[in-house]
Amino acid sequence: MKICLYPSIIQPMKMGGMKTAYEHKKQAFNLHHLDYSSHPLKGYFDILHLECPVPQSAFYAIWAKKKKKKIVISTHVTVEDFIETYSFGKKVSSFLRRYLSWYYSLADLLIAPSEYTKNLIKNYGVNKPIEVVSNGVDPFFLNDFQKKNNKIDSPQVIGSVGYVTKRKGVITFCTVAKAFPTYQFKWAGAIHDRLLFNVKSIDKPNNVEFLGFVEDIKKTYHSFDVFLFPSFEENQGIAILEAASFGIPLIIRDLPVYNGWLVHEENCLKCKNDADFINHLNVITNDKKLREKISKNARKLAEKNNLKLIGKQLISLYENMLNQ
């Protein structure tokens, strides 16, 4: 069995979750010694797995269908997350919905990173089988884990990772920072002022630092004492799993996508508004017992999403497709 895992990831997405998900699949394949290529025109393959919903991917899906190949498509992009990510998102939302409905319908099988995303795609009118497979955690994150001392020492480092956008909750992040002027707040992630969000428009307190794109993100995670992730819309949230792999206490927004795998006061603290984020950060920094509990359970959650396990799931799905 040979897979063609075609990324076709356009420039603005080359430092985001979609690129990470693609790299994770390659790692999962390597862990299981699965034969794969990265372009449909470079050699034989049994299954074409497409990562990015760009016109090139649609072209190769149609081309591969004519050659009687099986098509798998990852549903990383939804209208809901696109609208608040890009500055022009709302203007193209109706077109994008129609396009995604058509594009995802080209697949023999769709892979969704969460039950939430699976239901969104169904609501677009897509009538194809959809399987839920986590984006997983890089084994190097899990192996590089160093247990943190949960004793809080000032200054406290509160971190977040992701594109600097309204959707990711950057304004909430700054609002919380104002309430804790003695703590350091660090946000790691690419900044594209025109395409995504103008950072200069934020009322940024002095204790907030935007690090931009970070090449070695593991070092950055190591510097965080608490992971504050106020995103308004996610299809899973790879950064959450990465932070969890380091046992960093998680404070997140209470979103439907987290139902069933992120549990309030077990492996995270969930917030409904800015006041909750401020209150929960105060709680997590002062309640050592709760902090240790959430840290330990977050690490367990990450281990359940190890790419070795994700690779087994994908291979099983591929084999079932070919056997059919």
Q: Where are the domains of the chain?
A: 2-136+306-323, 139-304
**Tens-digit pLDDT string for the chain (324 aa):** 999 999 876 544 555 678 889 999 999 999 999 999 999 998 899 999 999 999 999 999 999 999 999 999 999 999 888 776 665 556 677 888 999 999 999 999 999 999 999 999 999 999 999 999 999 998 777 776 655 444 445 448 999 999 888 889 999 999 999 999 999 999 998 876 655 656 667 888 999 999 988 888 888 998 999 999 999 999 999 999 999 999 999 999 999 999 999 999 999 999 999 999 999 999 999 898 999 999 999 999 999 999 999 999 999 999 999 998
pLDDT at 11: 44
* H/E run at residue 276: helix 274-286
Q: Which of 242, 247, 264 is nearest to 255 (CA)?
A: 264
Buried b (16+ CB within 10 A) or exposed e, 59-79: ebbeebeeeebbbbbbbbbbb
Per DSSP, 154 falls in state: S
Q: For 139-304, CATH number? A: 3.40.50.2000
The DSSP bridge pattern shows strands 47-50 and 70-74 to be parallel
pLDDT at 144: 64
pLDDT at 82: 74
pLDDT at 142: 76
pLDDT at 9: 67
pLDDT at 185: 97
pLDDT at 242: 93
pLDDT at 87: 55
In angstroms, the CA 57 to CA 201 distance is: 36
Class of domain 2-136+306-323: alpha beta
CATH fold match for the domains 2-136+306-323 and 139-304: yes
In angstroms, the CA 162 to CA 165 distance is: 8
Strand ranges, E, within 38-177: 47-50, 70-74, 109-112, 130-132, 157-161
Number of C-beta neighbours around residue 320 at 10 A:
11
**106, 135 Cβ separation under 8 angstroms:** no
In angstroms, the CA 39 to CA 266 distance is: 43
pLDDT in tens, 283-308: 999 898 999 999 999 999 999 999 99
pLDDT in tens, 35-91: 999 999 988 999 999 999 999 999 999 999 999 999 999 999 998 887 766 655 566
Backbone angles phi, psi at 304, to 5 degrees: -70, -15
Give the tokens for residue 208.
């907030």
Which CA distances in Å does 247 have to 69, 103, 150, 255, 308?
Answer: 42, 38, 10, 21, 20
In angstroms, the CA 137 to CA 237 distance is: 11
